[in-house]
Chain A
Amino acid sequence: MFGLFVSLSLLIAVLGAAAVAEMPQSTAAQNGPAIGPPPAPPPAALQAVRFAVIGDNGTGDQPEFDVARQMVASRAQVPFDFVLMLGDNLYGRPSAREFDDAFARPYKPLLDAGVRFHAILGNHDALDNRLYPLFGMDGQRYYTWARENTRFFGIDTNRLDDAQMAWLENALKRSFERWKIVYFHHAIYSGGTRHGSNIELRVRLEPLFVRYGVNVVFSGHDHIYQRFKPRKGITYFVEGASGKLRKGINASAESAAAFDQDQSFMLVEIAGAELTFRTITRTGRVVDAGAIGAGPTS
């Protein structure tokens, strides 16, 4: 009996030590896209950063074309020059024809105008979709890039492995920009009745977002639009209705705005310490708008 007690105690001690080692902690970056050395501080005069946000769009159906047409029209007022794609960029099997039908054709006017797209993968995307040049992923599942005073972090929540987590932490840590925007597919805050908030991802990601001063998070997956009241200084958006639409949003006191009656996209403009946004349906109706201020430079 004593032997059993000793051996069980030893086992518990080993497991406990390993569990402690698994607790969230600062880790060095492992594999992943190169982040590069910390760049020099930005010049004082910065231009506004303007972009659109779409999610769950890659159907090739009429609503996707309608949203794209409305995006083109909105450029007259907000001349955005890039688009964040929140995953499920292509619902069909990857082929030249599918990429053409569900992406190149709907967004042809934008592509012709020089607008660039920066996608991340959704659950309906094939892994090789990251190689499609017009998705702007440069073959990576997760990557970071900056424009003026804003740094973007595109991550892959399909496979949020340890290497990616270490890379993300390192990338966030090294970011000096005033605005830090993270975008990925599976929402960690969502009132969608089908999927809702992914708590497991929230447990892993939110502490990093809070620790390193992320300002805004964009996600999709639920085919709705929703904005949440700032949580721990972070504003969470769900924009998963730029092609698909699934009605059904759970009422929540944490929700600031929600819309599930039509397909939509977002327009965002960052000027200095203020981010303004508008959510527009495929018929041109503005269903949400507002401004977010960045806190002190982190």
Chain B
Amino acid sequence: MATHVMPTDWRHAVPTRSRAAGSLHYLTGHYLLLPLGAAVAFVWANVDGFSYYTVAHALAFPVNAIAMALFFGLVAQEIFEETAPGRALHQWSRWVVPMIAAAAGVTVGAIVYGLYVEWKLEPMLHVTWPVVAGVDVAFAYFVVKAVFHRSAGPPKGGHNVHPAVPFALLLALVSNVIGVVVIAPVFANAAERTGGAAVLMAAAIGVAWWLQRRHVKQFWPYIWVAGGLSWLALYLEGFHPALALLPIIPFMPHARRRLDELFADEADQRGATPRHFEHVWHYHAQAALFLFGLVNAGVVLTGYGTGTWATLAALLLGRTAGIAIGVGLALALGLTLPANLRAREVIVIALAVSVGFTLSLFFATTLLPPGPQLAELKLGALLSLLGVPLTFIAARLLHVGRFARAHVHPHGKHRGA
């Protein structure tokens, strides 16, 4: 997930823009178009369900299978760049604890989900457990960043970012990768497998490689030509085509970015490829996310059911407990947490990544066709936004981050913990 953090003086950077353009800039910068689309959908579905579902069904495939490819491409591009030498994800050791925590979170979440479904005697819902792997990375990023806003950064290095931020993002990424791996072969709307997909995929990668060899700096040929072939290959083979850009990303032009914040981009350098294209792509992905929220988040209030509560319990309780257990297990194995992270910070981080929202919605729509069971899961994914206030409540109760008890510094200054 890319999060384009606006520079504090962004209004000055775009002095000629209107207030509307500034508002749009703010919405995209804080990934608010998705919640906006979701809010519109929710109201629309409950006011005039017939017109909403008519539109939503017509848009479901193009949005979920085509437009979302841009979003996942952007996510993959961010991750790929972060794995470069010197970047945040390059050191394998940084991954280990979050990986264990994420795996434990998904496992315990799936157990809670399964137990709830079993208790309520709705066995057909068992197969939809992968919704518990979904973590809304944007929400996790902004919530963790807000909670640890006033906290001290790491003791060395001089980067003004709390280690909770990369820890939470790594945890979220691993969890989502687990979900993607599980759901990729079970694309609910897949056509019959027709074969020949391997040839198409080879052609897609070949085109991307050729573009790279030719030092093509424009990114649209990579997306439309190579990405298009890849999309077709996945679709024909029954894999989710929204993942089509993943094999193309490594061939695309990349640029080093600043090291102080994970998943934050530098300011746009107009015309400078590849720096500029990330910003352009960012807007396309945001448009896709708005449509995704609009198409998938419309659920009528009476649509709740076992799937709703199973999803909610699994995300808020199961995954949070699983992450805590996973971290405990990692520590027992002799691994260590990053500096400034202790048990109570881990609990707050675990709650921050309990929001499934976008990814849980995506996994749900992949696993089930439109209908009452899907609506139940969607409502659970939407209600997982409760994880946001719960995170702040927990942070306050546990005195974590910005809610840390102020104490008198030996030199008389007040400091947070």
Contacts and interface: CB of A to CB of B under 8 A. Distances in A.
A92 B122 CA distance: 9
A23 B58 contact: yes
Contacts of B62: 14-19, 22
B60 interface: yes
A15 B50 contact: no
Contact of B49 (A18, A121, A194, A200): A200
Interface string B42-83: 000000011001100111111101110010000000000000
Interface stretch (B310-318, B351-359, B363-371): B363-371
Taking chain B's interface residues, is the majority helix, strand, or loop, or is none over half, making it mixed? helix
A124 B229 CA distance: 42
A127 interface: yes
Contacts of A10: 224
Given A3-B280, A126-B123, A158 B373 contact: yes
Contacts of B63: 15
A93 B58 contact: no
A8 B58 contact: no
Interface in B100-144: 118, 121-124
Given A19-B58, A91-B121, A204-B57, A160 B66 contact: no
B54 A203 contact: yes
Contact of B57 (A11, A14, A203): A203
B220 interface: yes
B305 interface: yes
Contacts of B305: 123
B212 interface: no
A15 to B, nearest CB: 4
Interface residues of B, number: 41
Given A11-B67, A15-B63, A159 B220 contact: no
A31 B57 CA distance: 21
A4 interface: yes
Nearest to B369: A161
A14 to B, nearest CB: 6
A143 B58 CA distance: 26
A274 interface: no
Nearest to A207: B54
A18 B57 CA distance: 11
B66 A14 contact: yes
Contact of A127 (B49, B118, B124, B192): B124
Nearest to B51: A203
B62 to A, nearest CB: 3
Nearest to B223: A7
B188 interface: yes
A203 B53 contact: yes
Nearest to B54: A203
Interface string A153-191: 000011111100000000000000000000000100000
A11 B192 CA distance: 26
Of A3, A10, A17, A159, most B-chain CB atoms within 10 Å? A159
Interface in B182-198: 188-189, 192
B303 to A, nearest CB: 8
A162 B372 contact: no
16 contacts: A8-B283, A11-B67, A15-B63, A19-B58, A23-B58, A93-B121, A121-B124, A126-B123, A159-B368, A160-B370, A160-B371, A161-B369, A196-B302, A199-B53, A199-B300, A200-B49
Interface of B: 49-50, 53-54, 57-63, 65-67, 70, 118, 121-124, 188-189, 192, 220, 224, 280, 283-284, 287, 291, 300, 302, 305-306, 368-373, 375
Interface of A: 3-4, 7-8, 10-11, 14-23, 30-31, 91-94, 121, 123-127, 157-162, 186, 194-196, 198-204
